[in-house]
Chain A
C-alpha cells in the first residue's frame, strides 16, 4: 500500500502557507503590533490547533513531532504567530482537554480548536518565576467550590484570552503538593486583566497581568486530582521544552536564509561579501548549529511520541537550540552591516524575537543547573 509520509506532507503544506501568507506580510504585521487574528483564523481552519489531540476527540490526530514541525515552520515566518499557536495547541488547552468536563469542552475546548476562543497559561507571579514553590495565588475550598485570590504576570495571550489555566496554592503547608491547576473563564466575576506589556520582541503576542479577586469557581473547575498540579505540569514539560526548541529552529532557519541571500548580493571591495572567509565562517557555524538543533529536538519529540521519558534530552535541546537561535540572529544582524540595525529588514526582528525563547520552559540558568545535576554533578 502506497502512503504519503505525514511529516513531510505536513511540513510542506505549512511551509507553503508560511511562504505565501506570512512571510510577505511579516514586517507589516509586526509593525502594526496588533494581535494577528486573521492569520490565526487561517491556521485554525487548517485544523492546526488540534494537532496534538486525538481525532475522535476533536483533534487532528497528530503527535508531538508533527506539532513541533508546525511550530518550527510558523516560527520561520513570524515568531509571535508561532508562539500563540504553540500556546493554543499545548499549554493553554491541555489540562482543559484532559481534566475538564464534557460541558467545559463543549463551551471552551472545541471553540478553541476552531480559533473562536483563545487560551493562556498562568504560572508566573511577580514574586514567583523560576521558583514555582513560591506561587501564592490561593484557591481556598468553599462549600461548593473554590475562591481564588492572587496576581499572575507575564501571561502570554492574557489580554485576549477567553479562559485561563491557573496554577494555584490550595494549602501552603503542603508546598508543592498543594499546587493545583484551575480553569477560570475570563468573564467570571473578580477576574481583571491589565493593559498589554510593552515588549522587546514578539510584539503582536500580547502579555499582561491577570488579577483574581474573590473569584468563585465550582469544584469541577479544578483540573486534575487534588495535589497533582506539579505532576501534571511535569507530563508536558518535556514537550514544552521541545516545542521551544522547534521555535528556535524556525528562527535559525529564517536568519540563516536571509544571511545567505544577503551575503550573495551585497558587494564590498568588488566582491560579494559571501566570498570572504569570515562571513563564510558565520554561515558555516549557523548551518552546523541548525543541524545539531534539529537532531537534538526531533530526537526528543520522537521519544515523547514513543512514551520514553526524555526530560534531559528535551532540556538540552531547548538550551542548545535557543542559544543557537540567539547566536544566529546576532550573526545575521552583523552580516547585514548597518542594515541589520534598520527596521526595514527582518534581521532586527530575528534579534528581538530570539529573546522571547530564553525564559519560557525554564531559563537557561535553571536548565544548565538541571543538566549538570543529571550529568552527575
Chain B
C-alpha cells in the first residue's frame, strides 16, 4: 500500500496574531512545530504501513526550514520525504497550495491513500485536504476518527459528526483528513532523525520546475483569491451567561437590564421578564 501524508509546519500557537499594517502573521518569537493534526495523520499512515508492509511518503510545501517537520516524520517511521520549496510558491492561497500539492502528488505517481490533518492551527481553513482530493479527482472522507478496515480496493472509516459518528466506505485511492482522536502519535526515533539529518537519500527538495509548473500557476501569482485586508475583530460587547435557579437568574437579569441604559428592546425584555417572574 502506497500512502502519502501531507504535513504543514506552523507557529506554535493557536492565538494567531496579525500585523495590522501588512495583514500577515506575526511569526517572530514563535517556535515552529509540526501541525498537531498532522502528527496524527503520520501515525495513522505509519500504523497502516506496519500492518500492510506499505510505503509512506510525506510531503510539505513550505520554506526551507520546513525540512524539520519532514525529518520528524522520518523519525516516526515514514520512508521518504519531499519538501516543496521555491520562492515561487510563496504567498499561495488555499487553491494555489492545494494545486501545488496535487501536482507534486501526480509527480510522485502511484498512491492508494492520502492522509491529511483536518486543519492547520494557523491558516485554520481545513480546505487543503478536500481541495487536494478534488484536484486529483479522488473521493474524500473528512473528520476521520478511526480507520476500521482497509484492503487493496477500499477503506471503511468512522467519521466524526457534530453529535455522533458515521461509518463510511470509500473506494481507493482516496483522501482522508484525520482528527486527533484517531490515535496517540509515537515520539520520533532519535536515530532515524539523526540519519535523516546527515544523508540525502530520505528527503528530496522539489522546486516549481521539478513538479512541472510555471511560476504563474503557483504562489501569489497562481492564487485565485487575494486578501484585501486582515484585521482582528473587536469585541465591544461581551455576552454573559447567568446560571443558577430560574427565579434568581431572572432577578439578576432584570437588575442588569435595569441598570443598563436600556434600549426599547431591553425594556421590552425586562418587562417580559417581570411578567414571567410574577
> Given the complex of chains A and B, what is the CA–CA distance between A360 and B75 in angstroms?
33
Are A46 and B197 in contact, CB atoms less than 8 angstroms apart? Answer: no
Contact residues of B: prevailing secondary structure: helix
Are A48 and B68 in contact, CB atoms less than 8 angstroms apart? Answer: no
Are A66 and B85 in contact, CB atoms less than 8 angstroms apart? Answer: no
Contact string, A10-49, partner B, CB cutoff 8 A, digits 1/0? 1011101100000000000000000000000010011110
Instruction: Report chain B residues within 8 Å CB of A224.
Output: none
Identify the stretch in A54-62, A266-274, A322-330 within 8 Å (CB) of chain B at 4 or more residues: A54-62
> Given the complex of chains A and B, what is the CA–CA distance between A17 and B192 in angstroms?
16
Instruction: Report chain B residues within 8 Å CB of A47.
Output: 189-192
Contact string, B29-54, partner A, CB cutoff 8 A, digits 1/0? 00100000000000000000000000
Instruction: Report chain A residues within 8 Å CB of B72.
Output: 9, 13
Are A1 and B205 in contact, CB atoms less than 8 angstroms apart? Answer: yes
Are B191 and A4 in contact, CB atoms less than 8 angstroms apart? Answer: no
CB distance from B46 to the nearest CB of A (A): 13
B64 within 8 A of A: yes
Instruction: Report chain A residues within 8 Å CB of B196.
Output: 4
Contact residues of A: prevailing secondary structure: helix
> Given the complex of chains A and B, what is the CA–CA distance between A237 and B195 in angstroms?
27
Specify which of B67, B85, B186 is in contact with A4 (CB 8 Å cutoff): B67
Are B193 and A9 in contact, CB atoms less than 8 angstroms apart? Answer: yes
A3 within 8 A of B: yes
Instruction: Report chain B residues within 8 Å CB of A70.
Output: 190
A306 within 8 A of B: no
Size of the A side of the interface (Cβ < 8 Å), in residues, is: 28
A5 within 8 A of B: yes
Q: Considering the complex, which residues of chain B in the window 146-163 have a beta carbon less than 8 Å from any beta carbon of chain A?
A: none
Are A45 and B187 in contact, CB atoms less than 8 angstroms apart? Answer: yes
> Given the complex of chains A and B, what is the CA–CA distance between A1 and B71 in angstroms?
14
Instruction: Report chain A residues within 8 Å CB of B188.
Output: 13, 46
Instruction: Report chain A residues within 8 Å CB of B193.
Output: 4, 6, 9-10, 13
- Given A2-B67, A2-B83, A2-B85, A60 and B197 contact (CB-CB distance below 8 Å): no
Are A2 and B191 in contact, CB atoms less than 8 angstroms apart? Answer: no
Instruction: Report chain A residues within 8 Å CB of B85.
Output: 2
Instruction: Report chain B residues within 8 Å CB of A55.
Output: 191, 194-195
Specify which of B31, B186, B194 is in contact with A60 (CB 8 Å cutoff): B194
B229 within 8 A of A: no
Instruction: Report chain B residues within 8 Å CB of A14.
Output: 190
Are B194 and A6 in contact, CB atoms less than 8 angstroms apart? Answer: yes
> Given the complex of chains A and B, what is the CA–CA distance between A186 and B71 in angstroms?
40
> Given the complex of chains A and B, what is the CA–CA distance between A61 and B71 in angstroms?
15
B236 within 8 A of A: no
Q: From B70, which residue of chain A is reached at the shortest CB distance?
A: A4
Are A13 and B197 in contact, CB atoms less than 8 angstroms apart? Answer: no
Most buried by A among B186, B187, B188, B198: B187
Contact string, A129-141, partner B, CB cutoff 8 A, digits 1/0? 0000000000000
Contact string, B197-209, partner A, CB cutoff 8 A, digits 1/0? 1101001010000
> Given the complex of chains A and B, what is the CA–CA distance between A70 and B188 in angstroms?
14
CB distance from A362 to the nearest CB of B (A): 28
A50 within 8 A of B: yes
Instruction: Report chain B residues within 8 Å CB of A50.
Output: 191
Specify which of B75, B187, B191, B197 is in contact with A59 (CB 8 Å cutoff): B191
Instruction: Report chain A residues within 8 Å CB of B191.
Output: 47, 50-51, 55, 59-62
Are A45 and B186 in contact, CB atoms less than 8 angstroms apart? Answer: yes
> Given the complex of chains A and B, what is the CA–CA distance between A13 and B203 in angstroms?
19
Instruction: Report chain A residues within 8 Å CB of B195.
Output: 55, 61
Q: From A63, which residue of chain B is reached at the shortest CB distance?
A: B194
Instruction: Report chain B residues within 8 Å CB of A9.
Output: 68, 71-72, 193, 197
> Given the complex of chains A and B, what is the CA–CA distance between A66 and B198 in angstroms?
14
CB distance from A313 to the nearest CB of B (A): 25
Q: From A6, which residue of chain B is reached at the shortest CB distance?
A: B197
Q: From B193, which residue of chain A is reached at the shortest CB distance?
A: A9
Are B67 and A46 in contact, CB atoms less than 8 angstroms apart? Answer: no
CB distance from A38 to the nearest CB of B (A): 13
Are A46 and B83 in contact, CB atoms less than 8 angstroms apart? Answer: no
CB distance from A208 to the nearest CB of B (A): 30
Q: From A48, which residue of chain B is reached at the shortest CB distance?
A: B190
Instruction: Report chain B residues within 8 Å CB of A1.
Output: 200, 205
CB distance from A20 to the nearest CB of B (A): 9
Are B187 and A51 in contact, CB atoms less than 8 angstroms apart? Answer: no
Contact string, B91-114, partner A, CB cutoff 8 A, digits 1/0? 000000000000000000000000
- Can you name 7 A-B residue pairings with CB atoms under 8 Å? A1-B205, A2-B83, A10-B190, A13-B75, A46-B187, A47-B192, A61-B194
| 7 closest Cβ pairs, A-B complex | A60-B191, A6-B197, A4-B71, A47-B191, A47-B189, A47-B190, A4-B68
- With A4-B70, A14-B190, A60-B194 already in contact, 9 other A-B pairs whose C-beta atoms are closer than 8 Å: A1-B200, A3-B197, A6-B194, A10-B193, A10-B194, A13-B187, A45-B189, A51-B190, A60-B190
Residues of A participating in the B interface, judged by any CB pair closer than 8 Å: 1-6, 8-10, 12-14, 16-17, 42, 45-48, 50-51, 55, 59-62, 66, 70
